[in-house]
């Protein structure tokens, strides 16, 4: 999987590098990825906790990239929208786990094949070392078959 190489170097992407965001775990078939964000002086806010924008950023590309890899080139996949709900201050390293069951991939593919588009939402929990939920993030993903794009006449 060529995307696996992208993930291995993703920590160098400026939004991740500046916020100390990196991939902690990734399985071979790209159905599970764990991302971490370490607390650093440059990644905290005025009151000394993890910056909220960085918490949101750590959830940004993963479901989109995982689906691009699993659905293939005949589909358009975009990270369309996101919403975050902060639950408690993040005072140390935090983690986000992205899991994509084979059944969910099949459901998305089937729905996108039978409809003009599909927009599944994924809930991502950002947790601290003790498993406390720091924030919840909803990621709305846009999926459409390329052959269902209307061409201008």
Each residue's pLDDT tens digit, 112-128 = 999 999 999 999 999 99
What's the CA gap between 9 and 147, in Å, rounded?
A: 32
What's the CA gap between 23 and 33, in Å, rounded?
A: 7
Taking only the tens place, the pLDDT of each residue in 17-74 is: 556 788 888 888 889 999 999 887 777 788 888 888 889 988 988 899 999 999 999 9
Q: Return all residues near 84 (Cβ < 8 A) that are at least 6 apart.
A: 52, 55, 56, 59, 135, 136, 137, 138
């Amino acid at each position: 999987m060529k995307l696996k190489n992208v993930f291995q170097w993703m920590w160098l992407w400026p939004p991740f590098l500046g916020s100390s965001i990196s991939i902690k775990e990734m399985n071979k078939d790209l159905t599970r990825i764990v991302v971490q964000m370490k607390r650093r002086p440059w990644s905290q806010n005025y009151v000394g906790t993890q910056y909220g924008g960085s918490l949101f950023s750590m959830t940004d590309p993963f479901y989109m990239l995982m689906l691009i890899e699993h659905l293939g080139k005949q589909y358009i996949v975009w990270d369309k929208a996101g919403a975050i709900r902060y639950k408690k201050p993040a005072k140390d390293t935090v983690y986000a786990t992205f899991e994509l069951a084979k059944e969910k991939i099949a459901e998305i593919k089937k729905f996108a094949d039978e409809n003009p588009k599909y927009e599944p939402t994924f809930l991502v929990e950002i947790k601290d070392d003790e498993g406390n939920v720091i924030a919840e993030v909803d990621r709305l993903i846009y999926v459409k078959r390329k052959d269902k794009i209307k061409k201008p006449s």
